[in-house]
Chain A
Amino acid sequence: MNVLTRRVASSTLVISRGWLLELRQLMRSRLYLVTAVILPLVFASLAHYMFAGSHRTEGPLVIALSAGLMGMWSTTLMGSGSAINRLRFMQVLEPLVACPTSTFLFSVPFALATASMGIYSLGATLVWSTLFFGMPVELASPLLFAVALLVTVVSLALLGLLLASAFILYPTAQSLANFFEYPIWMLSGVLVPVSSLPEPVRYLADVLAPSWGVKAIMRSATGEGGTLPAVLACSLLSVLYALITLILLRRFEWLARSSGTLALQ
Chain B
Amino acid sequence: MLRKRELNFWERIYLPEIIRGVAITSRHFFVNLFFHSAHRLGLFKGKLAAVTFQYPEQTRPLASRSRTRHRLTVREEGTPRCVGCMLCETVCPAKCITIVAGEHPDPNVEKYPVRFDIDLGVCVYCGYCVEVCPEDAIRMDTEILDIAAYSRDAMKLDLHELMDPKLRKPVAECKLKFPHQCKIHGNQTRGSWKAVYGEQTCAAGSLEPQD
Same complex for A and B? Answer no
Interface residues of A (CB under 8 A from B): none
Interface residues of B (CB under 8 A from A): none
